[in-house]
Structure 1
Amino acid sequence: MPVLTLSHAINTGLRQAMEDDPKVVVMGQDVGRLGGVFRVTDGLQKDFGADRVIDTPLAEASIVGTAIGLALRGYRPVCEIQFDGFVYPAFSQIVAQLAKLRARSGGRLAVPVVVRIPVGGGIGAVEHHSESNEAYFAHTAGLRVVCCSGPQDAHWMVRQALAGDDPVIFYEPKRRYWSKAEVSDEPDLPLDRARVVRPGRDVTLLTYGGMVATCLQAAEAATEDGRDIEVVDLRTLSPLDMDTIARSVDKTGRCVVAHEAPTFAGLGAEVGAAVTERCFYRLEAPVLRVGGFNTPYPPAKFEDRYLPDLDRVLDAVDRSFAW
């Protein structure tokens, strides 16, 4: 099995999807000649041509709107939004058109558009380059929202997203683009399943994207205090894989949800409510949340104080045992 970085794994996933289906097209700012700001699409225009790897104007609403039109004509576009905070000009196209067309047409129209969004902080970037806006899209009926955390998922989830007929918001944690791992020649999970990445018995730690590695570090550190933390990578944010989540919480009796986004009305609130409804009689403590503070993302020199770290995750675990 090859060892790939997360960014290269997405590249190979896109490449394979384009080889398998001539209707798959890549489009976005600087995705062609430059190969993307993070070089995720490096080499694709050279190999597939400028008519399938399309450098677009700096106009996100036009990128997504054009992709919708292409999808209605039988293509499978994958759009790159350079940074998470740049998706807002395309918000209306995504939530009012892309998410609604299948229902509006009574199921007669499929709009298989994948919108790739580098997400989250940790790279010392300026304003609008480090946001976690997944809750906006997870709240929107008609969209699948997924987030990879490592190379294996990055490669196979983008291929699975492009193979389906649903519109998909595909989040990529930018601070993990250079993490390396083996990528197998077969997917190990469907697109809509969570993964237990570290089994444990004492508390369930639910997370996704860039926080998976942080939570695994926290779980290892917790062993010094004799606590065995189970870490679950959600992978799919909408729909949630509540069966996997509930099995874990039923086993441990405690649950902490961790993400980079602010906690107020964040995904952790929905997960916490769903866990409480499903697992109420098994819970030994309330579901607790760890996230970014309820402020705009700070300047780069303060992001280490803003982003949840190992200590903040472990503090939530300790509070769970204090009840």
Structure 2
Amino acid sequence: MLRYVIDVVEMLDTPKTSGASLAEFLRSQGAENAEIMVKTIEGEEGLSTDFVRVFIPGSRGKSSGGSAPTLGIIGRLGGAGARPERIGFVSDGDGCAAALSAAAKLLNMSAQGDVLPGDVIITTHVTGWAPTEPHDPVPFMGSPVDMETMNDFEVEAEMDAIVSIDTTKGNRTINHRGIAISPTVKSGYILRPSEDLVSVTETVTGVNAVVFPLATQDITPYGNDLHHVNSILQPAVATDAPVVGVAITTAVPVAGCATGASHATDIELASRFAIETAKYFGAGQISFYDADQFAHLVSLYGEATHLQTLGRTK
């Protein structure tokens, strides 16, 4: 897995990084039945980003008439570079690197004959020229496009569950270097952490799983003037599917716009977590949440989908 991380980070760590160059690399993995698409979107400030989508069909996936569930893997970030303010690959790009590395490995596996049961959709976006923005306790990366646009291109109705990978280093609540997972978020509710995904985490890392805390405002949409830990759970505002955040973390606060702050082995952990989750989820062997408990929760307390909106405007 690490070889793919090194290759992907090398391609992201340049002012010439682009969705086209990364798509060419992904196609070189040889999975002829996969779909790899790139679309460039320009933001209001004249900056643009390349959205990359990789679709890998499963042996029993819905795309071929099967019933195996589809996993979405989203690489969340503002930008892979903050040029001209900062030179080099920024910490915020780790989620993108992890998702694209997982895509490369899955494509190579498929080409070699290791086809997963379910379809897998990997989405992210790529830009080396993104703005920075103030955030407490350390600065964040901004993005050439807004969060609604990101969700429009990165979250798909076909995704039955989503793994959202994001650098989550700019806080004082996760004091651990490596990866951490979130509780499951679905339809405005923060649910208990998935025991199955805790087990996947421990298998991948070889140590006790770390589950990071979420506040209610963390799962509401950007744009409501509330503090968010970061954008890791923003896909959850755009879908009814269960979403679990996979945070690439540090023991001390590190700015999202910091260069020289990425650890290839930690990105590798997040990539490997996504791949293992895809294997077992498509086979129906793990679950992101307890459906009966969720139905009972809603019957007792009602829908919480209002938390997926911007709330009251008056």
Give the TM-score category using the shorter length. 0.3 to 0.5
**TM-score, normalised on structure 1?**
0.34
Answer 1 or 2: higher relative contact order, Cα 8 Å, separation at least 6. Answer: 2
**TM-score, normalised on structure 2?**
0.35
Larger radius of gyration: 1
